Amino acid sequence: MNNSDDGIFHKSFKDSNLKHILMITNHGIHQWDIIPGLPDTGGQNVFVNQFADTLAKNNYKVTIVNRGGYAHPVTGDIHRNLVYKNEKQRILYIEDSIPRQIRKEDMASQIDELADNLYTFITDENISIDLLVSHYWDGAKIANEFNKKLDKPLTHVWVPHSTGAIKKRNVNPDKWKNLRVDERINTEKEIAKDVDSIAYTSFAVRESLDKDYNYTGGIFLPPSIVVDRFYPENVDKNNEIWTFLSTMSGLDANRIKECRIVTEISRTDTTKRKDVLIKAFASVHKDNPDTFLIIAIDDNEKELAPYLKNLIKELKIENYVAAIGNEWERMPAIYRITDVYCTPSIMEGFGMSAQEAAASRAPVVASALIPFATEFLVGDSPKTIEYLADDGQNNRTITQGAGTIIVTPDDVAGFAKAIGLLINDDQLRVNMAASAYDKTIPYFTWDAMIKLFVYSVGCYDEDSDNSSMAG
């Protein structure tokens, strides 16, 4: 326990009769204040914290399990033991014999030791657990090994977030070996046989579970919105966000206020295809000088970040681009001033940033590999729009839906066409923004999803306030 309040929280946590959920998210650097962009740290960590927050709000207590025992890449601190957020939420850092970070693809060798150490801690603490929830394949393996040691195994719900089979279809074959894709698929097939239920975060994951893993059923548990953080609101002309963007770009703040703003937020990784967006924006900006791009580029990525920033300079758009880093506190304001949110990524389990933008009432331009856009924002009556490809000869198409425009992955001209449509048609942009919002709120809120989840897994107390969640 790492601060003065932890002792008080620890006693309250142990003494309470609330139902207790043990949630294992093993890889990456999990903490209460997530630093996106750290190795193997991103959307899953945000999902787990928001999931836990909502469970706590609805009268559950949650222990989040994460691998610790090595130096944090930013602070240098070593995460170990228990760290409490309050009397209902805590992180337990379990250690193994290797005091360094291990990438998620290489975690198999550590599973048995981590499961043993988790079992030792839980046994020594002698605290009851009502439900076991695991995330990704490594978390599920630890959960299964831990469960085998118990006299009475716990109900185990696995949240894979994506699948190895999806990854195999979406990445080049020359990367399969390094990513251990086939090993992951075989492991996931074993997990699917052993768990009590699987919670799928998108219909794409559900389809893969059925097609590739022979698993049917499951529980829908997508990433959802924290409604007191992401919501539509006009941003005052004096808000500091304008000065911040001016500092990051070199463009006068008043000039930025005159522009239509295109935004992309994700970790700096080749699968996010940020270069595709930069090229597409440069094409749009040539014909529409009143446009401005906000794009997340993490300078800690020593190879990709310089390439992306050099590309911005080569295309002569640097004064109309704010390349930002981790701006967690500013994110709500950034989404609210966004006119078009664009995500060209080819590797998304769901599309959390697109969902956050939609909840802030922004239309979304997305690759055809963003499940949230293709499954929900597109609506029932999409239409096909033709345009000329980069060669100026062959016709290609994009799909205009209710709250999104879907583009073939890596099609620079297609993304430029989609962004241009929304930039140049105020009414279309307003209508699609409204549709994106309506398809997100109130259905994709954590309160709604938690109520469905705890009822589906039978983890509600009929004698407490939790029983009302079943309705």
Which tokens in the block code for residue 384? 């096909």
The stretch 447-454 carries a mean pLDDT of 93
* In a shared domain, residues 104 and 194: yes
Neighbouring C-alpha atoms within 13 Å toward the C-beta of 275: 12
The one-letter amino acid at 447: D
What are the CA-CA distances from residue 47 to residues 93, 131, 182, 239 (Å)? 18, 18, 26, 29
**pLDDT (0 to 100) of residue 238:** 95
**What count of other Cβ atoms lies within 10 Å of the Cβ of residue 224?**
25
pLDDT of 442 above 60:
yes
Q: What is the pLDDT of residue 389?
A: 74
For residue 400 the two structure tokens come to 């205009």
Query: What's the domain count of the chain?
Result: 2
Among 218, 16, 217, 10, CA closest to 130: 16
Asked if 158 and 305 sit in the same domain, the reply is no
Domain with 342, as residue range(s), is 240-438
Do the domain assignments include residue 39?
Answer: yes
Residues 276 and 392 occupy one common structural domain: yes
User: 218 and 247: one domain?
Assistant: no
- 380, part of any domain: yes
| CA of residue 228 relative to chain centroid, distance | 18
For 233-256, what is the mean pLDDT? 97
Residue 176, domain member (yes or no)? yes
- Confirm whether 234 is domain-assigned: no
In this structure, the answer to whether residues 357 and 454 fall within a common structural domain is no
pTM > 0.75: yes
**One-letter amino acid of 406:** I
Task: Looking at the structure, tell me whether residues 273 and 215 fall in a common domain.
Answer: no
Asked whether residue 369 falls in the same domain as residue 450, the answer is no
Question: Does some domain include residue 230?
Answer: no
Q: Are 34 and 45 in contact (CB under 8 A)?
A: yes
Q: Verify that 370 and 466 share a domain, yes or no.
A: no
Same domain assignment for residues 247 and 132 = no
Q: pLDDT tens, 171-230?
A: 899 999 999 999 999 999 999 999 999 999 989 899 999 999 999 999 999 999 999 999
Residue 2 pLDDT > 80, yes or no?
Answer: no
294 vs 323: CA distance, rounded Å: 6
Contact indicator for 378, 441 with CB cutoff of 8 Å: no
Same domain, 39 and 157: yes
- CA–CA separation, 401 vs 368, rounded Å? 12
Is there a single domain that holds both residue 366 and residue 433?
A: yes
Task: Determine, yes or no, domain membership for 364.
Answer: yes
Whether residue 225 contacts residue 440, with contact meaning beta carbons closer than 8 Å, is answered with yes
Say if 231 falls within a structural domain: no
For the chain, report the end-to-end CA distance as a whole number of angstroms.
38
Could you tell me if residue 1 is inside a domain? no
118 with 247, same domain?
no
H helix or E strand, kind and range, residue 365: strand 364-367
Residue 197's pLDDT is 97
pLDDT tens sequence across 266-316? 989 899 999 999 999 999 999 999 999 999 999 988 899 999 999 999 999
Contacts 24+ apart (CB under 8 A), 425-429: 429/339, 429/340, 429/363
Bridging pattern class, strands 89-94 and 81-86: antiparallel
Q: What is the CATH number of the domain that holds 396?
A: 3.40.50.2000
